[in-house]
Homo-oligomer: A and B are copies of this chain.
Amino acid sequence: MSEDKHISPDWIAVDWGTSNLRAWAVSKSGRALDMLRSSDGMGGLNRDEFEPALRKLIAPWVAGGKTTIVACGMVGSRQGWIEASYATVPCKPLPDGMIKAPTANDDLSIYIVPGIRQNNPSDVMRGEETQIAGFIATNPDWDGVICLPGSHTKWVHISAGEVVSFQTFMTGEMFDALSQNTVLRHSIADTGWDDDAFHAALSDSISKPERIAARLFSLRADGLLTGQSPQIARARLSGLLIGAELAAARAYWLGQQIAILGDDALSKIYANALNEQGVPAMLTDANYMTLAGLNAAYQSLKETA
């Protein structure tokens, strides 16, 4: 979007994750005027490097005067710019308690959205609460379960506008670790897909999740013995892991109204898997929900000001 023209945002929205930093210049009406991104994720920054990284990214939008910024994500973790303590479920996805980040100059006022914790069983989210807030702002009075697929897929039970409970599955990260850091790397392609293989593995894994530990090495053995293609192995591993997740997350989706909020391709895989279980799922636009959530946070800031 960033062309050579003057952008004068009313405020700036920031989604600052472990690997990436994204910022939107937002108009008074809540519309995105521009978007910029960099690879200055939280994971690569020391505490004193956050402010310079942000100033560098948003420099085209800041022409003197004071600017308000609302940020969500790992920027608020213990290893981030400043820790924005977790709120505890049940709670609104945007509870009170945004924290102001320390800055060298007071031209920038930067507020960080707190994450959410659950004490039993232990679980945490940081960043997803903002997308959930955006979803609720967009779909008021919606009760059900939001699935946010990703490296750490989250299943979140929403009732009366509050996060009631949630559960994280490391499915995406397990897929990466198994396909890249174990002997399976010799048998699994980096890209490619086979729908039939995915659905067969998914169905096997949902119905017999206790067999998952026995299934994984067969991805390697089938590559050696039957000439199974690395694309089929890739789809099978995904099916096995998502199937094991769905089996363990059954209480979250069985008989529930489901919305899926995440990356397009992965969201469709989850929607297909749920459809096979007879569960319809609504697909939503994750970027839109992030911005809508940050906007809700910004509005609450103005109300309390």
Q: When the two chains form their complex, are residues B117 and A225 in contact, meaning their CB atoms are under 8 A apart?
A: yes
User: Please, what's the 1-or-0 string for A170-212, where 1 marks a CB less than 8 Å from any CB in chain B?
Assistant: 1101101110111110000000000000000000000001111
Q: How far is the CB of A296 from chain B (nearest CB, A)?
A: 26
Chain B residues with CB below 8 A from A221, complex form: 117-118, 121-124, 168
Asked if A270 CB lies within 8 Å of chain B CBs, one says no
Query: Which listed residue, B123, B182, B210, B214, touches A174 by the CB 8 Å rule?
Result: B182
- From residue 68 to 119 of chain A, which have CB atoms closer than 8 A to chain B? 78, 86, 117-119
A86, A119, A168 pick with most chain B CB within 10 angstroms: A168
Q: Would you list 27 pairs from A and B whose C-beta atoms are within 8 A, ordered by A residue?
A: A117-B225, A119-B225, A121-B221, A122-B218, A122-B221, A122-B224, A122-B225, A123-B218, A124-B220, A124-B225, A152-B183, A168-B221, A169-B216, A169-B217, A170-B182, A170-B217, A173-B183, A174-B178, A174-B182, A177-B182, A209-B209, A210-B210, A210-B244, A210-B247, A210-B248, A213-B245, A214-B249
Asked if A222 CB lies within 8 Å of chain B CBs, one says yes
Residues of A within 8 A of B (CB): 78, 86, 117-119, 121-124, 152, 167-171, 173-174, 176-178, 180-184, 209-214, 216-218, 220-222, 224-226, 241, 244-245, 247-249
Q: When the two chains form their complex, are residues A247 and B213 in contact, meaning their CB atoms are under 8 A apart?
A: yes
A169 to B216, CA, bound (A): 7
A226 to B211, CA, bound (A): 31
A226 to B117, CA, bound (A): 11
Q: Which 9 residue pairs of A and B lie closest in terms of their CB atoms, listed nearest first? A: A122-B221, A209-B210, A214-B248, A177-B177, A168-B217, A213-B244, A213-B248, A177-B181, A181-B181
